[in-house]
Structure 1
């Protein structure tokens, strides 16, 4: 019998927990013997990709023996036109997660620091741990608002990156243009703000900003966006960053060649041109969000008003039990203990029909389990 490998892994791996996605539909069917599943756990677009995208992907299949364009030239040209920047301001990646990892590899040395509001998306911490950096968390305020002065106070001479997710996952709250301006104007030299605007297309507040206007003005900001949400391309993995060309050039040094496959590039280009599908997804999300708000109000379930395609609702001490009961009924949500919120459940906005089935099941469970 061969001896097991004894090569010592990096110490920083002791701090890293593998990413835990929501339970996939196939696993739910197998585990609970169900034939129909409603997945409202991963903030996906319930309408699916547009028919134009499917046709474009089918048309691109005969060229799969060719390597993709490593510079994503055509996609960057389309994005540059839409965002009013130059292609040199853009970096396209294999989903937003890859961009976060590349930012970490570009800027973080051992014992450097990142500042992260909490609760928020966990991949920022993953990237920092990977590089042996230190994570400084700043709690959001009681209503999950960003605390600009507390964020600034957490910055030290070791801070390299400040991560801001707006709209924030899992709360749905956002950083206003005024607050972002105040933060950037007081930011010490040598600190880069990474503004994760993955859910920006759903935001309707007048004072919301994607942050791209600050990139145009020369502020030290990198804006992250994705095709996984409103464009319904989560399964094909396309994200991108918008920043000053000098920032982009540094990150390009650690990017793998051919990181975005040819079908993904084709799909993203097509998605940018399909305004009708984009508007339909936005309209349906707005209707679905209101449908859930109205139901939660009727059932006296507290929730946080969201600028995104999900809602964080407070079910109280029985939240875990309700989450599990819904799971066994074939409704997948996201339990809040992931973010240290054991009394909360994050609910992705589904179709009106899916939302209604969820509402009816919650009503039944509140009678059985209580709040």
Structure 2
């Protein structure tokens, strides 16, 4: 009755809502640091633009995202027909998988990285080759190259990587791109690029005119604080964009989402202030973790991966104390919150690690 390749998939589980957690744990206050959201919100220009916009609920939205497309293309110095918009990057990952993958194909990705790459390959009946990140939490590019073969259709590079926060340098990635066969799509997921401070981070948009098989993904959900509006975009050669457009649902970006994204683009000062505050709090977090000798991966994003061990138990203790963080196999990912919130969380994290130190690994 159902696709057999769905048997081993799990549906996305958002867990209880913050209000449900507060009620269950008897909490007056809960700090949400588990989803890499912008803790500073969005530009005031977004609220003003939406308040002033006519609702027009009876009309379909602009299918081409015209005003946003024109503005963004100008800012990125690309042609308008090199852009594709989706309901966040999640939908674009769906569209890439639908356009390029079929049963018998394969994808290559790091692990751990963003789960949706694997999920939608599975849905399309393609195999997934997961190459473990190295000890520094970085992509093993040589290992990824080694498993590419005639079945490979897509290679996913999350840069900076979610959940580790680490990155691939421009030199490393360009050498990798040059060695990948030209008929394999290389998707560079740069959802967190605005938080990057590394001077050797790839300038991937400069490669698109020379590399037809490179597709770059970016989003308004993170630095612009528009996660609830669900709007992301892909940048690539027109030939690649055309293929993905064939599987894109019409009118997929609601009108108010387009208005919100356009307004956010006009207020670059707000975005830059968010990025600056994120880095200040991240530096404070580094200092605490270094002082307490708690291991972590240096981050180029708005989150940090702390190597706790007993991650589920650490997550649960933090939750009981009013802090939501995300557990992974060998550590926890923590969104970089506001200064006072992080100063409250970090001692709780230390306490949680001490409490679970003597527990057997799960």
The reply to whether residue 214 of structure 1 matches residue 201 of structure 2 is: no
Distance 2:238 2:65 in 1: 16
In the alignment, which of 188, 199, 218 is matched to residue 195 of structure 1? 188
Distance 1:360 1:280 in 2: 27
- Checking the alignment, whether the CA contact within 8 Å between 1:22 and 1:42 is kept in structure 2 is no
Cα deviation for residue 99 of structure 1 reads 0.1
The reply to whether residue 329 of structure 1 matches residue 316 of structure 2 is: no
SS of match in other structure, 1:15:
coil
Residues 54-65 of structure 1 correspond to what in structure 2 (within 5 A)? 54-65=47-58
Cα deviation for residue 151 of structure 1 reads 1.2
Report the CA distance shift for 1:228/1:252 in structure 2 as closer, same or farther (over 3 A): same
Task: Specify the alignment match of 1:346 in structure 2.
Answer: 333
SS of match in other structure, 1:259:
coil
The reply to whether residue 121 of structure 1 matches residue 108 of structure 2 is: no
- Checking the alignment, whether the CA contact within 8 Å between 1:200 and 1:210 is kept in structure 2 is no
TM-score with structure 2 setting the length: 0.95
Distance 1:23 1:355 in 2: 22
- Checking the alignment, whether the CA contact within 8 Å between 1:111 and 1:133 is kept in structure 2 is yes
Report the CA distance shift for 1:187/1:319 in structure 2 as closer, same or farther (over 3 A): closer
Task: Specify the alignment match of 1:355 in structure 2.
Answer: 342
**Which deviations, in whole Å up to 9, do the C-alpha atoms of 1:61-103 show, x marking residues without a partner?**
4333321101111111111011111110000100000000000
Distance 1:10 1:321 in 2: 35
Cα deviation for residue 286 of structure 1 reads 0.3
Distance 2:334 2:41 in 1: 18
The reply to whether residue 10 of structure 1 matches residue 36 of structure 2 is: no
SS of match in other structure, 1:216:
coil
Distance 1:267 1:273 in 2: 10
- Checking the alignment, whether the CA contact within 8 Å between 1:210 and 1:223 is kept in structure 2 is no
The reply to whether residue 98 of structure 1 matches residue 91 of structure 2 is: yes
- Checking the alignment, whether the CA contact within 8 Å between 1:64 and 1:262 is kept in structure 2 is no
SS of match in other structure, 1:116:
strand
Task: Specify the alignment match of 1:280 in structure 2.
Answer: 273
Give unpaired runs (5+ residues) of structure 1: 1-7
Distance 1:239 1:115 in 2: 22
Distance 1:228 1:209 in 2: 21
In the alignment, which of 261, 268, 293 is matched to residue 300 of structure 1? 293
Distance 2:181 2:313 in 1: 46
Distance 1:201 1:284 in 2: 13
- Checking the alignment, whether the CA contact within 8 Å between 1:164 and 1:193 is kept in structure 2 is yes
Task: Specify the alignment match of 1:39 in structure 2.
Answer: 32
Q: Aligned-residue CA RMSD in angstroms? A: 1.5
The reply to whether residue 256 of structure 1 matches residue 249 of structure 2 is: yes
The alignment of Structure 1 onto Structure 2 pairs a total of residues equal to 358
Cα deviation for residue 367 of structure 1 reads 5.3
Distance 2:262 2:26 in 1: 39
Report the CA distance shift for 1:367/1:127 in structure 2 as closer, same or farther (over 3 A): closer
- Checking the alignment, whether the CA contact within 8 Å between 2:38 and 2:224 is kept in structure 1 is yes
